[in-house]
């Protein structure tokens, strides 16, 4: 018997007591497809129902503060069912940059494909910089509220009271911040696990909270205030980005006890955040050797019940300062392939200085490649179309089309034109790398055209084609053969001769020939 049938007006009563849905999560649970879900479905070429189900299950977030939606935010999503996303960090420091500089970085980040941008300003004018960034940005903006908190306390984090922090979160939520990194998962009882680390606590937020706890000998006030924070974030639909305050800052500290103790706390907080109607994603490390990345991603997904994983890099080696956009791009590609939903970019300036406009560009290009290759490896529908179109243009020596399809057309064209700038070379069947005589794609083109005329090879190929039930190709008309190809025909006879000499290896030679031939016809095997 249906248990609900014995309770008259059960559904009506439940509805009566349920708070009105505010967040995307609550709407999805109530089976309401919001305009933001519709927009995201269109962008991702997924069904709105899929978006609804993913958001309801917590596997996808739509970071869209209600205030920012009113000032031009274009909704996007972060989750394993959608394409892998990238985040760019901008923001000033006490030493350098200003509002104009940060807006220039924002523009660069969006131009090169950042899906979200975090304003990590820690210098002067934090408030007005953030306000102008939110107003100018069509992509979600994330922040780390503890940074502004510290500025307001004059650098004395121990002076912070929980209410201070709640007020700061509310202030930023009112400004329109779409997601916030808050280090609630760093617990007093886990601090001792970092004492033998090579690089200690490298998260700024994590180290600040650790200092507060050591001074006051109390639990993390952000952990204790978690439910109150949820209530503020729910009002504006600010998405949680649960900070990984104990992430490893070096390969030597990767996957250690401290990191995983905090991850368990983040799993608990994910569930509590969902219970209070907020959207949640979870941040992850940092510095991880390649062989541990898949395990890290899978463990996060399991411990945090499938909440989207937002990884910082990770760097796969520590020995290349100045090139950490490359060391981390390798890790980010593997993490994306393993299931990370968003990759936080790293610039060449990582560990060395505040990134400038050009560093932002380099970081974004590296991460666009990482996210795209991860999407290809995860076989997302249609994601390889641009690669295939570019490959076809490359084989057809259609240089202008290659530039058009390139991730960074300006750089691709500039490199090509460094040596062959004239327009005539935009249709040349070679570039300066191998030159006209050694261009292997040109040679392949020649082979394809001359192949059907090489009768000794053709006869064996015909046999192979007959065996495989395939139609033989038609040779091109003779008049189209250039002189150079006739020289090849003269060169052919010694090859069958070597067939006779290499008696025992005839089969091997034949199979090689047929493989070359099949490949030239675009056949496999
Ligand atoms: S010359 Fe070499 S690098 Fe240039 S198109 Fe030909 S094969 Fe490619």
The best mutation among 412, 419, 433, 446 to test binding of ligand 1, ranked by most ligand atoms within 8 Å of the C-beta, falls on 433
pLDDT at residue 477, rounded to an integer: 53
Residue 97 CA to residue 215 CA, distance in Å, equals 33
Residue bearing the CA closest to ligand 1, atom 5: 430
Residue with the smallest CA separation from ligand 1 atom 4 is 431
> What residues does 311 pair with on adjacent strands?
284, 343
Rounded to whole angstroms, the Cα distance separating 247 from 251 reads 11
Cα-to-centroid distance, 232 and ligand 1 (Å) = 58
For residues 473 and 205, give the distance between their C-alpha atoms in angstroms, rounded to a whole number: 66
| CA 240 to centroid of ligand 1, rounded, Å | 48
User: Which residue of 392, 415, 440, 442 sits with most ligand 1 atoms within 8 Å of its CB, as the best mutation to test the pocket?
Assistant: 440
> Residue 96: is its pLDDT beyond 90?
no
- How does 107-120 read in b/e, with b if 16+ C-beta sit within 10 Å? ebbbebbbbbbbbb
Task: Supply the pLDDT for residue 346.
Answer: 97
Lowest average pLDDT, out of 189-203, 380-394, 441-455, 488-502, goes to 488-502
Distance 378 CA to ligand 1 centre (A): 30
Please choose from 391, 420, 434 the residue to mutate so as to test ligand 1's pocket, defined by most ligand atoms within 8 A of CB: 434
Q: Which residues contact 408 (CB under 8 A, 6 or more apart)?
A: 112, 365
Judge contact between 141 and 116, C-beta under 8 A.
yes
Q: Whose CA is nearest to atom 6 of ligand 1?
A: 439
Residue 498: pLDDT band (50, 70, 90) is very low
Q: 10 Å Cβ neighbour count for 255? A: 16
CA–centroid distance, residue 362 to ligand 1 (Å): 25
CA of 423 to the centre of ligand 1 (A): 17
How many whole angstroms from 436 Cα to the centroid of ligand 1?
8
Q: Tell me the pLDDT of the chain averaged across its residues.
A: 88
- Please tell me the pTM assigned to this model: 0.83
State in Å: Cα 404 to ligand 1 middle. Answer: 18
Least confident of 89-98, 377-386, 461-470: 461-470
Q: What atom in ligand 1 is closest to the CA of residue 441?
A: 7
What confidence category does residue 522 fall into, taking pLDDT thresholds of 50, 70 and 90? Answer: very low
d(CA 461, CA 465): 6
Residue 514: the pLDDT is: 47
Tell me how far apart the alpha carbons of residues 518 and 525 are, in angstroms, rounded to a whole number: 7
Lowest mean pLDDT among 136-150, 241-255, 347-361, 476-490: 476-490
* Tokens of residue 300, six digits: 């996060």
Q: Whose CA is nearest to atom 3 of ligand 1?
A: 433
Annotate 395-461 with three-state secondary structure: HCCCHHHHHHHCCCHHHHHHHHHHHCCCHHHHCCCCCCCCHHHHCHHHHHHHHHHHHHHCHHHHHHH
Q: What is the pLDDT of residue 97?
A: 67
Task: Tell me the residue length of the chain.
Answer: 525
pLDDT tens figures, 131-174: 999 999 999 999 999 999 999 999 999 999 999 999 999 999 99
Q: Residues 465-481: what's their mean pLDDT?
A: 60
**Residue 284, helix vs strand vs coil:** strand
Q: Which pairing describes strands 116-119 and 60-61: parallel, antiparallel, or unpaired?
A: unpaired
> What pLDDT was estimated at residue 494?
46
Ligand 1 atom having least distance to the Cα of 431: 4
The H or E element spanning position 69 is: helix 66-70
Q: What does the DSSP 8-state code read for residue 287?
A: B
Residues with CB under 6 A from ligand 1: 430-431, 433-434, 439-441
pLDDT at 473 over 80: no
Reply yes or no on whether the pLDDT at 345 is more than 70: yes
Cα(251) to centroid of ligand 1, in Å? 39
For residue 500, pLDDT over 70 is answered with: no
Q: How far apart are CA 184 and CA 344, in angstroms?
A: 20
Band (pLDDT 50/70/90 cuts) for residue 364 is: very high
In the reported structure, the alpha carbon of residue 433 is separated from the centroid of ligand 1 by a whole-number distance in angstroms of: 6
For residue 441, the CA-to-ligand 1 centroid distance in Å is: 6
> Which ligand 1 atom minimizes the distance to the CA of 442?
6
Strand duo 179-182 + 239-242: pairing: parallel
Residue 510, pLDDT > 70, answer no
Model pLDDT, residue 18: 59
Pocket test for ligand 1, best of 430, 442, 444 (most atoms within 8 A of CB): 430
Ligand 1 centroid – CA 113 distance (Å): 29
Which SS3 state, helix, strand or coil, does residue 283 take? strand
């Amino acid at each position: 018997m249906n248990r609900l049938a014995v309770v008259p007006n059960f559904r009506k009563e439940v509805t009566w007591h349920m708070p009105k849905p505010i967040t995307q999560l609550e709407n999805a649970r109530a089976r309401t497809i919001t305009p933001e879900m519709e927009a995201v479905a269109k962008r991702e070429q997924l069904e709105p129902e899929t978006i609804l189900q993913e958001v309801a299950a917590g596997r996808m977030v739509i970071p869209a503060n209600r205030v920012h939606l009113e000032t031009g935010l274009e909704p996007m999503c972060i989750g394993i069912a959608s394409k892998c996303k990238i985040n760019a960090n901008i923001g000033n420091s006490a030493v350098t940059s200003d509002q104009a500089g940060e807006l220039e970085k924002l523009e660069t980040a969006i131009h090169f494909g950042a899906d979200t941008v975090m304003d990590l300003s820690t210098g002067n004018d934090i408030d007005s910089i953030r306000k102008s960034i939110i107003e100018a940005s069509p992509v979600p903006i994330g922040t780390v509220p503890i940074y502004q908190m510290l500025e307001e306390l004059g650098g004395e984090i121990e002076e912070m009271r929980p209410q201070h922090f709640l007020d700061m979160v509310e202030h930023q939520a009112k400004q329109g911040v779409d997601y916030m990194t808050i280090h609630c998962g760093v617990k007093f009882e886990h601090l001792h696990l970092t004492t033998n680390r090579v690089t200690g606590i490298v998260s700024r937020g994590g180290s600040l909270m650790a200092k507060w706890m050591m001074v006051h000998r109390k639990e993390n006030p952000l952990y204790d205030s978690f439910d109150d924070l949820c209530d503020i974030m729910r009002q504006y639909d600010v998405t949680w980005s649960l900070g990984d305050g104990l992430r490893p800052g070096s390969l030597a500290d990767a996957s250690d006890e401290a990191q995983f103790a905090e991850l368990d706390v983040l799993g608990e907080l994910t569930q509590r955040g969902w219970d209070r109607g907020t959207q949640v994603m979870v941040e992850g490390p940092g510095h991880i050797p390649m062989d541990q990345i898949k395990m890290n991603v899978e463990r996060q997904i399991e411990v945090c019940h499938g909440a989207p994983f937002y990884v910082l890099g990770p760097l796969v080696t520590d020995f290349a300062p100045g090139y950490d956009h490359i060391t981390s791009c390798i890790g980010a590609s593997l993490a994306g392939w393993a299931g990370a939903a968003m990759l936080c970019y790293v610039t060449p300036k990582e560990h060395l200085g505040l990134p400038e406009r050009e560093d932002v560009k380099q970081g974004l290009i590296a991460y666009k490649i990482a996210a795209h290759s991860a999407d290809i490896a995860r076989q997302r529908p249609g994601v390889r179309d641009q690669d295939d179109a570019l490959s076809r243009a490359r084989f057809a020596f259609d240089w202008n089309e290659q530039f058009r399809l390139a991730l960074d057309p300006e750089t691709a064209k500039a490199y090509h034109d460094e040596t062959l700038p004239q327009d005539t070379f935009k249709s040349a069947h070679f570039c300066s790398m191998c030159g006209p005589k050694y261009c292997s794609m040109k040679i392949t083109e020649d082979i394809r055209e001359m192949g059907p005329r090489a009768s000794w090879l053709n006869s064996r190929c015909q046999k192979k084609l007959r065996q495989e039930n395939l139609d033989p190709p038609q040779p091109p008309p003779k008049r189209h053969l250039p002189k150079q190809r006739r020289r090849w025909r003269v060169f052919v006879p010694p090859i069958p001769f070597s067939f006779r000499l290499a008696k025992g290896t005839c089969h091997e030679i034949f199979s090689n020939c047929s493989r070359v031939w099949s490949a030239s016809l675009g056949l496999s095997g």
